[in-house]
Chain A
């Protein structure tokens, strides 16, 4: 699919320049993308919002362009997704506000904000089935009268109400603004910009060169009051019962039941990703497709043009070949793992389970200076530390991002590395496996506690909305998985190319062998490993599992295996991770993190060598 990188602030389908822009806006998890797909049909384009990691979809409905925005609780700029949503909303001709009928009072805050901003709009009162299942009845006519805009009840996943919604978009009109806001709007600004200025939106204040009046909280309160009043007037509860999903959601947070459910979730994840994808699928994609077909074929092809033993031949198809190892690694190993991980993540995300995991682990994460939401990058890290580092962007403060990035790079082995380590440790018996897991947990905990102590500032507290648990929509899950995998590969491949090029040249010029000899005091003297282990560590710079694989070929006794495997896990993350860490954390901090990983790994490795008697 071609990436739409255009220079306007909204990514776009091909539209005549005067075509009306209809922008879909709603809170997270309200079925906004289902409404979007129901309105647009199959011709949908997904692109990266310029300068961000946020994906947005656009499509057409008749002669109008329809744009989907990230789910937000209000129009503001608290994080990257909100900034994208805000900028897209500001370009809208018509707003379709998708509202969760089962959580009306929460959602009406955004609805009222959009009305205050003066957009012609229609409200899609979605998830009517869920509201009914929860015993809620909503007086739609009254809601429409209160808001001053049309309200169309929908069940978007089943297409209910979509025809009516489509017709209503043509009749979109401005609603009744909140009096506390309307009375204060500056006359010289369009209402949308005026509202954002009243609410001290930094982007808007900067753009119009005028300081905000400091009224944000007052306006938010007035709007919240009005939202609650409206909700009270239009909702009646028919039965006080809780639906099955509500009860399951509560079980997920029960002190005991929650832990059982979490254990089941982690076990399922290990089974699917650790056993099925990392071993069976990768065994086929890397072992057979790449190892038996692609690599020999490519080596043979290049061999016909230039001698394989030549410098260029080695760079292209040698041990670290650009056309062999790099491709086999990216496509055969990384792609299935990343795909599997994103699939799992999308399922956990769309089912509403992930926020509950965040709640369960919040207390533990607090000890290392993070809040429960940090569990998401941590889980991702077991798939690929590189991609996990990118997702630390969702954290509240820079302090948390520093801690999370460091812990990821130090103590979380990625799936590729885990696969090799599992093969090495399992034959030694459970004592070695448990020592490995225990030591990593200990290092993660101690490093986190220390960072939490020494880093200035404070981490943000957990404050999350818990969406109802529901069955994820397969189409949504697959699309999300595809998009995330695509953008990950697009971002990461260049680093793998650079990495293998570098190590190839080092290998060819003899630098690699010289380094191995030079490092003998560390490997032999301090860590108690054979001299050749240095090569494994140097290879570990390129890819972590590659380093582990380098150890695999050495004849190590049980004790040496344990020490070596622990050291290589704590040791530097792969070159792609390092590049991403430097990009995300800045050069100075990135370099410190990297050096700390290396120094700590060697220091602790030597200590383990002296402490462990098994």
Chain B
């Protein structure tokens, strides 16, 4: 599934980020392919807020759609 389909509270593994510039920026923020993160909030039709540890970041909807994730149980 893609990141924009996740629901608040779900934890997932990031499989791929289909956007070279966003991939580099995300690595520096702390999320890379292979990272474990959680969906913090989804604004209706808008960005997805992702949390990793204590850190939160927001990704625009269409970018979130280009990120493949895999849900994991915690």
Bound Cα distance from A355 to B59, whole angstroms: 12
Q: A309 near B: Cβ within 8 Å?
A: no
Provide the bound-state CA to CA distance between A462 and B65, in Å.
12
Q: How far is the CB of A243 from chain B (nearest CB, A)?
A: 9
Tell whether, in the assembled complex, residue A371 and residue B57 are in contact, meaning their CB atoms are under 8 Å apart: no
Contact status A465-B55, CB under 8 Å = yes
Contact between chains at B54 and A461 (CB < 8 Å): no
Q: Which stretch (A155-163, A217-225, A343-351, A556-564) binds chain B?
A: A217-225
* Residue of chain A at shortest CB distance from B58: A359
Write the nearest CB–CB distance from B1 to chain A, whole angstroms.
Answer: 19
Q: Once the chains bind, are B57 and A109 in contact (CB under 8 Å)? A: no
Task: List residues of chain B with CB within 8 A of the CB of A5.
Answer: none
Tell whether, in the assembled complex, residue A362 and residue B60 are in contact, meaning their CB atoms are under 8 Å apart: yes
The complex places the Cα of A360 from the Cα of B24 at a distance, in Å, of: 24
B24, A220: Cβ atoms closer than 8 Å: yes
B61 & A363 in contact (Cβ 8 Å cutoff): yes
B27 touches A220 (CB 8 A): yes
A78-B25, A220-B24 known; A461 vs B30 contact (CB < 8 Å): no
A136 to B54, CA, bound (A): 9
Contacts A224-B32, A228-B35, A465-B29: A249 and B56 contacting too (C-beta < 8 A)? yes
| A388 on interface, CB distance cutoff 8 Å | no
User: In the complex, which of the residues A73, A227, A253 has the most CB atoms of chain B within 10 Å of its own CB atom?
Assistant: A253
Is A233 in contact with chain B by the CB < 8 A criterion? no
Chain A residues near B55 (CB-CB < 8 A): 103, 105-106, 465-466
Mark contacts of A211-242 with chain B using CB atoms, 8 A cut-off: 1 yes-contact digit, 0 otherwise: 00000110011001101100100000000000
With A102-B54, A371-B60 in contact, is A73–B43 under 8 Å at CB? Answer: no
Digitize A43-59: 1 where CB-to-B-CB distance is under 8 Å, 0 elsewhere: 00000000000000000
In the complex, A264 has a CB within 8 A of chain B: no
User: How far is it, in angstroms, between the C-alpha of A461 and the C-alpha of B6 when the chains are bound?
Assistant: 18
How far, in angstroms, from A79 to B66 measured CA to CA in the complex?
24
Q: Are B56 and A466 in contact (CB under 8 A)?
A: yes
Q: Contact at B57–A465, with CB atoms within 8 Å?
A: yes
B63 and A463 contacting across the interface, CB-CB below 8 Å: yes
Do A463 and B26 touch across chains, with their CB atoms under 8 A apart? yes
Asked if B22 contacts A105 (CB within 8 A), the reply is no
Task: Out of A73, A250, A355, A461, name the residue touching B40 (CB < 8 Å).
Answer: A250
Docked-complex contact A106 and B22, CB < 8 angstroms: no
B residues less than 8 Å from A253 (CB atoms):
40-41, 43, 49, 58
Measured in the bound complex, the distance between the Cα atoms of B56 and A95 in whole Å is 27
Q: Which residues of A contact B26 (CB under 8 A)?
A: 463
B67 CB to nearest chain A CB (Å): 10
Complex CA–CA separation, A371 to B35 (angstroms):
25
B16-39 with Cβ < 8 A to chain A: 19-30, 32-35
Residue among B34, B44, B46, B59 facing the most chain A CB atoms (10 A cut-off): B46
B52 interface hit (Cβ, 8 Å): yes
Please measure, in the bound complex, the distance between the C-alpha atom of A74 and the C-alpha atom of B20, giving whole angstroms. 16
Which residues of the other chain, B, contact A136 by a CB distance below 8 angstroms? Answer: 54
| Cβ of A210 under 8 Å from chain B | no
Q: Which of A191-220 contact B (CB under 8 A)?
A: 216-217, 220
Known contacts A461-B63, A462-B63, A359 near B32 by CB under 8 Å: no
Query: Residue A464 at the B interface, CB < 8 A?
Result: yes
Distance in Å from the Cβ of A228 to the closest Cβ of chain B?
7
Chain A residues within 8 Å of B47, by CB: 359, 362-363, 372, 462
Q: Which residue on A lies nearest to B53, using beta carbons? A: A105
Interface flags for A248-280 (1: CB within 8 Å of B; 0: not) read 011001110010000000000000000000000
A363 touches B57 (CB 8 A): no
| Contact status A363-B43, CB under 8 Å | yes
A540 → chain B, closest Cβ, in Å? 37
Q: Which residue of A lies closest to B50 (CB)?
A: A466
Assess the B28–A74 pair: CB atoms within 8 A.
yes
B60 A461 Cβ-Cβ under 8 A = yes
> A255 near B43 (CB under 8 angstroms)?
yes
Cβ contact within 8 Å between B59 and A463: yes
Check: A134 CB closer than 8 A to any chain B CB.
yes
A304 → B minimal CB distance (Å): 63
Q: Is the CB of A360 within 8 A of B43?
A: yes
Enumerate 21 A-B pairs (CB-CB under 8 Å) in ascending A order. A74-B28, A105-B52, A109-B28, A109-B30, A134-B54, A253-B40, A253-B58, A255-B41, A255-B44, A358-B58, A359-B49, A359-B58, A363-B45, A363-B61, A366-B62, A462-B47, A462-B58, A463-B58, A463-B60, A464-B58, A465-B55
A binding-site residues for B, Cβ under 8 Å: 73-74, 78, 102-103, 105-106, 109-110, 134, 136, 216-217, 220-221, 224-225, 227-228, 231, 246, 249-250, 253-255, 258, 355, 358-360, 362-363, 366, 371-372, 460-466, 468
Given contacts A359-B47, A366-B62, 16 further A-B contacts (CB under 8 A): A73-B28, A134-B54, A136-B54, A220-B28, A250-B40, A253-B41, A258-B43, A359-B43, A363-B46, A363-B47, A372-B47, A461-B22, A461-B59, A461-B60, A461-B62, A466-B49
The 9 A-B pairs with the shortest beta carbon distances in the complex, nearest first, are: A462-B60, A461-B63, A363-B46, A461-B60, A106-B30, A73-B28, A466-B56, A359-B58, A220-B27
